[in-house]
Amino acid sequence: MDPADYLAHLRRELGAFAECLRGDLSAPVAHCGDWTLYDLADHLGRDNLWAALAVTQKRGDYEGPAAPRDPAALVTWFSATASVLLAALDTDPSASAWTIFPPPTAGFWQRRRCLETLVHRWDAEHALGINGQLDPALASVLRAFQRHWRPEAITGQADSGTLARLLAVAQMVTGG
């Protein structure tokens, strides 16, 4: 998959996630511990900004303020973080960036944010009782990581349960 494809997928996934924020923000997210949909939005939005700074400022120490609690303000805030991320990632994939795992390039973040947003959009939809689907092309990319990457390379944490969930979802979509 080329960088333009990742960005197109990311734009769609961010939009679909933002639509979920019009639902019950107190809904529990089954695959994310004790998080609610609000907590998931806070995580994904702050990580959008973290990844944007990793590309534009080549640093990984960003810790932004919590997302707003007001539902309308949350949607606006999340959409703004998505815009910042998309602008930062609209660059040459070989451009230097701070990353959590090699390669230290913008391309790493183009792929990682696309995949993480895909999975968290699926999490959000399931929290709201929506039977969301995963794009088969992106699910295939997730499956490819199964053989080559450690859990922390995909999820940012050494959590084999998260990796197992990502790969199980991808397997359901790709049938493999």
Confidence of residue 141 (pLDDT cuts 50, 70, 90): confident
Average pLDDT value for residue range 6-29: 97
* 28 pLDDT above the threshold of 90: yes
- What is the reported pLDDT for 166? 60
Where are the chain's structural domains?
3-174
Q: Which amino acid is at 21?
A: L
Q: Cα 23 from chain centroid?
A: 19
69-80 residue pLDDT tens: 999 999 999 999
pLDDT, averaged across the chain = 86
Candidates 154, 114, 148; CA nearest to 5 is 114
Which CATH fold topology does 3-174 show? Four Helix Bundle (Hemerythrin (Met), subunit A) (1.20.120)
pLDDT at 154 over 50: no
Closest CA to 14 of 89, 68, 71: 89
Tell me what percent of the residues of the chain surpass a pLDDT of 70: 80
Three-class SS state of 157: coil
Q: How confident is the model at residue 151 (pLDDT cuts 50, 70, 90)?
A: very low
Q: Please check the confidence at residue 8 and state whether its pLDDT lies above 60.
A: yes
Q: 3-state DSSP helix/strand/coil percent for the chain, to nearest 5?
A: 65, 0, 35
What would the pLDDT profile of 81-135 be if each residue is shown by its tens digit?
Answer: 999 999 999 999 999 999 988 899 999 999 889 988 988 998 999 999 998 877 8
Q: What per-residue confidence (pLDDT) applies to 163?
A: 55
Position 162 pLDDT exceeds 70: no
pLDDT for residue 155 is more than 50 = no
Q: Please say whether the beta carbons of 143 and 176 come within 8 A.
A: yes
Q: Cα(86)–Cα(14) distance, rounded to whole angstroms?
A: 10
